[in-house]
Structure 1
Amino acid sequence: MTGTILIADDHPLFRQALAMAAAQVRPDARQVECANLPSALNEAVAADDLILILLDLKMPGAEGFSGVALLHAEKPQVPILVVSSAGAAQASLEAVRFGAVGFISKDADLSVIEQAIADALAGKTIAAPVDAAIDPVAAQIASLTPTQLKVLLGVMRGRLNKQIAYDLGVSEATVKAHMTAIFKKLDVQNRTQAVLAAKALGIELAH
């Protein structure tokens, strides 16, 4: 076997379809399937031979495009191909802003999905690249570490530093240090501005 392909989707039938498509392109690759974002993150961190992530946007634990951002932060060198039923035009742009190499609709033919998988594995970008000069916030969000992203998501939920510390299993002082780094990277002065910066890039929490 050469490499691992992570398939993250909460619908078993569609996971099976993606697994079949991936097997057609890379029959020698090991496949790992996940039905929620936390398990996908754990598998991504654990796999040192990860070569591709196939990701659905709307999964338990995912909020807006946070799944793409978190997985990209954990494995920046691994291509992420978003396969989703979300509105293609806007979702494709947003997915690339967060670090995906492209977006494929779940309505696409299996042959189209297979070609997209082949292109992603070949290092091709399947969507127009985001111009960082036009969208500077994208580069700022991309500079956050995985833990800093998790802290920022906690802030967006209205969690206090001590609550975020409990959620992440770290000290409150560590959270404060991360907040200082987040403010610096996003070029903001306070929590409210940090939340607005994140929302400007499309991170919206589900209610």
Structure 2
Amino acid sequence: MTQRTILVADDHPLFRQALKLAIGRAAPDAAVIEAGQLHEALECAAAAPRLDLVTLDLRMPGADGFSGVAQIHAERPGTPILVVSSADAVDAAHRARAYGAIGFVSKTAELAELERAVARALAGETDALPQPDAATDTPGDMAARIASLTPTEMKVLTGVMAGKLNKQIAFQLGVTEPTVKGHMTAILRKLGVLNRTQAVLAARTLDLAVEE
């Protein structure tokens, strides 16, 4: 049987150690890959021949709100993502689920709770979500549309959100400008918008607007 692989993406080394301890109890056979920034997590997700679980902090360097969840989900749509964050669970858990996460656990959780969350995620079990407040703004159809983007489309969209021109995005991705334009056309179609400005406004639903 091929050894299971788990990616731990968090910018705090001490908390990565805590997660590795929880993983060691829940899945002692698993190999653990560590990433301290979002770009490192994306590189690991793209390169790993097998990836059974990703534990992801929402507020890593390079992440814009829920963009980390959306990008990793686009890169490895079949891999469960367990968000481990200090963000408010009621709001963030629902929003993380909309972008492709399978579960959510607070960073204030005890080690045993982290262990149980890892075990559930590895088993493919989706967490029951806490009930949101009536005033909580949870994403709906647009979140599903953003989650449907391919890995390259997500990279193009995040470049557009950063105010970059097509030629700058093309240079960053190592592709031609017409290729970026083609991806942009696909993004507009999938999001159901007419231009780049509308795409950026739609993508702002990725922003994390919850209190720590």
TM-score (norm 1): 0.92
Q: Give, as a single letter, the amino acid of the residue that structure 2 aligns with 1:141.
A: I
Equivalent residue number for residue 38 of structure 1: 39
Q: Using the alignment, how far apart are the partners of 1:160 and 1:203 within structure 2?
A: 25
**Unaligned 5+ runs, structure 1:** none
- Aligned-pair identity in percent equals 60
Q: Using the alignment, how far apart are the partners of 2:206 and 2:86 within structure 1?
A: 20
Q: Give, as a single letter, the amino acid of the residue that structure 1 aligns with 2:197.
A: T
Equivalent residue number for residue 113 of structure 2: 112
8 Å CA contact retained: 2:38, 2:61: yes
Q: Give, as a single letter, the amino acid of the residue that structure 1 aligns with 2:176.
A: S
Q: CA deviation at 1:203?
A: 6.7
The 4+ residue runs of structure 1 with deviation greater than 2 A are 200-204
Summarize deviations over 1:26-76 as a string: whole Å, max 9, x none.
Answer: 101111111111111111111122111011111111111111111000111
Of the structure 1 ranges 172-181 and 159-168, higher mean CA displacement relative to structure 2 is found in 159-168
Q: Using the alignment, how far apart are the partners of 2:192 and 2:88 within structure 1?
A: 31
Q: Does 1:148 align with 2:153?
A: yes
8 Å CA contact retained: 1:66, 1:203: no
Q: Using the alignment, how far apart are the partners of 1:128 and 1:105 within structure 2?
A: 13
Equivalent positions of 1:98-177 (< 5 A) are 98-128=99-129, 135-177=140-182
Aligned length: 200
Equivalent positions of 1:86-101 (< 5 A) are 86-101=87-102
- Aligned Cα root-mean-square deviation (Å): 1.6
Does the residue aligned with 2:175 lie in a helix, a strand or coil?
coil
Does the residue aligned with 1:78 lie in a helix, a strand or coil?
coil
Does the residue aligned with 1:50 lie in a helix, a strand or coil?
coil
8 Å CA contact retained: 1:8, 1:54: yes
